[in-house]
């Protein structure tokens, strides 16, 4: 077993071993430094300080003038040429640049638009379960959990139906290896394929943006590319970058949360029975606990820009820290019996959507509505829906990604309900 968080092999270990190591790190008096693999031979040493306690992750999240998101929040940071080619995503920006972009894209998340989206989510969730009952698939990720978030974001953005299969394929290629250890040959080949997939998807979305600027429709792309009252609008490249962010931040995360949720309910039949005893009463607590327990985004990085003492150590400008949400969410100082899956946990101040501060997840409410809507359909229409065997985990250090999960269910007794149209 390796205890080096910067070693990709650490993330290939069974989840229980990783959690044990995080518990050990949390008990130490101050954060530990981990050396990362150099970007190229003879490159200067690089590494990060691991923030593993709930209080430390929260404090760093809320001090953006000390812990900056530029030049990048992923580990390792995106290369400069990647940022130049694709435009900076809002997760990697700070201060006024970030605030301005967040204000423009927040239009997608106004209460009016969210209320409309919520109606759409219920229809899409019902349709996915209709298809599932008809087609009797055996693999959950492709047939169920990845479909809902992708359809919801495409509907919000107004992506024409004919582009969607290709977008799903591109997102899979672009993200399948983020944070995953691979052999040298695959390392050389796959980034190229992932970046090409991303570039093609961004060009496709930029093209739709140009079209909507000429002929606006009642959708989010039109709202983003046409100037609003402040005169702010996204350019084609910014639109492409925002769309990619939504695909990774909004689709992959929600799909993983739903998939882990099914495993958790299968492994804890008492919690499943409790949820089913009064779905509307327990659903909110259940989805919060699924996000805490599975922590779909494992970590984000920050760069120190001002001297600051935190968690027993004084950080200096230029140093890197990594916020391990996966560890903060199991911190025994905050969560009694942290490894238990308890849908009645209250309070449940988990950091699955971030530790607060300016970058707090823009789609947290949307993700929770999606999870509730899908589990309502999945648990109340088919009979005895359950995971079969363990999820096939990608072993990524970035997100708690599930490649596939086998599942089973029995069809409902009585005639199937008619299907609703999938798109608005
Ligand atoms: C269970 C599902 C989800 C999880 C676990 C998750 C988690 C996160 C986390 C940890 C962050 C970083 C917070 C920080 O740095 O303080 C984040 C940011 C973000 N999320 Fe989510 N997210 C989820 C779903 C979504 C959805 C559905 C959307 C949109 C449709 C979305 C859009 C975003 C965006 C745009 C950001 C960047 C915000 C900024 O930089 O200002 N997320 N999310």
Cα(420)–Cα(402) distance, integer angstroms? 29
In-domain check, residue 1: no
Using most ligand atoms within 8 A of CB, pick from 353, 357, 360 the residue to mutate for ligand 1.
Answer: 353
Ligand 1 site: residues with CB under 6 angstroms? 61, 90-91, 102, 153, 245-246, 249-250, 253-254, 257, 291, 296-297, 300, 325, 352-355, 357, 359-363, 366-367
Q: What is the pLDDT of residue 184?
A: 45
Is the pTM for the entire model greater than 0.85?
yes
If you take atom 37 of ligand 1, which residue's CA is the nearest one? 91
Q: Which residues pair with 299 in a beta bridge?
A: 324
- Shortest-distance atom of ligand 1 to CA 89: 40
In-domain check, residue 421: no
Q: What is the pLDDT of residue 220?
A: 83
- CA 374 to ligand 1 center in whole angstroms: 19
In-domain check, residue 418: no
> pLDDT by residue for the chain (424 residues), tens digit each?
678 999 989 999 999 999 999 999 999 999 999 998 776 677 777 899 999 999 999 999 999 999 999 999 988 777 776 676 666 788 999 999 999 888 888 877 877 788 888 999 999 999 999 999 999 999 999 999 999 999 999 998 888 888 888 888 777 766 555 565 555 444 444 446 667 777 888 888 888 999 999 998 878 888 888 866 466 778 877 888 888 888 878 899 999 999 999 999 999 999 999 999 999 999 999 999 999 999 999 999 999 999 999 999 999 999 999 999 999 999 999 999 999 999 999 999 999 999 999 999 999 999 999 999 999 999 999 999 999 999 999 999 999 999 999 999 998 876 555 445 444 3
Q: What is the pLDDT of residue 378?
A: 97
- Shortest-distance atom of ligand 1 to CA 245: 35
Task: Assign residue 288 the CATH number of its domain.
Answer: 1.10.630.10
If you take atom 6 of ligand 1, which residue's CA is the nearest one? 353
- CA 244 to ligand 1 center in whole angstroms: 13
- CA 359 to ligand 1 center in whole angstroms: 8
In-domain check, residue 154: yes
| Structural domain range at position 304 | 8-410
Give the count of domains, the chain. 1
Cα(52)–Cα(124) distance, integer angstroms? 38
């Amino acid at each position: 077993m390796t205890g080096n968080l910067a070693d990709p092999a650490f993330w290939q270990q069974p989840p229980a071993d990783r959690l044990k190591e995080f518990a050990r790190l949390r008990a130490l008096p101050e954060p530990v430094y981990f050396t990362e693999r150099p970007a190229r031979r003879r490159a200067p040493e690089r590494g990060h300080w691991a923030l593993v306690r709930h209080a430390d992750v929260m404090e760093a999240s809320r001090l953006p003038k000390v812990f900056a998101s530029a030049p990048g929040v992923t580990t390792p940071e995106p290369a400069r040429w990647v940022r130049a080619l694709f435009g900076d995503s809002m997760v990697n920006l700070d201060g006024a640049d970030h605030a301005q972009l967040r204000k423009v894209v927040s239009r997608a998340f106004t209460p009016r638009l969210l209320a409309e989206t919520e109606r759409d989510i219920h229809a899409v969730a019902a349709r996915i379960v209709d298809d599932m009952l008809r087609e009797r698939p055996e693999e959950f990720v492709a047939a169920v959990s990845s479909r809902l978030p992708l359809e919801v974001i495409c509907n919000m953005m107004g992506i024409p139906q004919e582009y969607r299969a290709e977008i799903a394929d591109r997102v899979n290629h672009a993200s399948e290896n983020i944070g995953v250890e691979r052999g040298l040959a695959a390392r050389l080949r796959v980034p190229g394929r992932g970046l090409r997939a991303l570039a093609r998807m961004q060009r496709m979305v930029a093209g739709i943006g140009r079209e909507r600027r000429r002929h606006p429709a009642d959708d989010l792309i039109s709202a983003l590319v046409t100037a609003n009252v402040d005169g702010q609008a996204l350019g084609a490249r910014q639109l492409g970058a925002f769309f990619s962010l939504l695909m990774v931040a909004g689709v992959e995360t929600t799909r993983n949360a739903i998939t882990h949720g099914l495993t958790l309910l299968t492994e804890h039949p008492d919690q499943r029975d409790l949820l089913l005893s009064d779905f509307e009463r327990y659903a909110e607590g259940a989805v919060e606990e699924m996000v805490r327990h599975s922590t779909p985004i494992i970590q984000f990085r920050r760069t120190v820009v001002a001297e600051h003492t935190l968690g027993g150590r004084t950080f200096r400008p230029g140093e890197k820290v990594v916020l391990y949400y996966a560890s903060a969410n199991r911190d025994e100082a905050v969560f009694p019996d942290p490894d238990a899956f308890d849908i009645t946990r209250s309070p449940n101040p988990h950091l699955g959507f971030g530790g607060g501060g300016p970058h707090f997840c823009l789609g947290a409410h949307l993700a929770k509505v999606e999870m509730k809507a899908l589990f309502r359909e999945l648990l109340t229409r088919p009979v005895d829906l359950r995971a079969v065997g363990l999820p096939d985990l990608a072993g990524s250090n970035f997100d708690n990604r599930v490649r596939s999960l086998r599942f089973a269910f029995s069809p409902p007794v009585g005639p199937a309900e008619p299907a609703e149209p999938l798109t608005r």
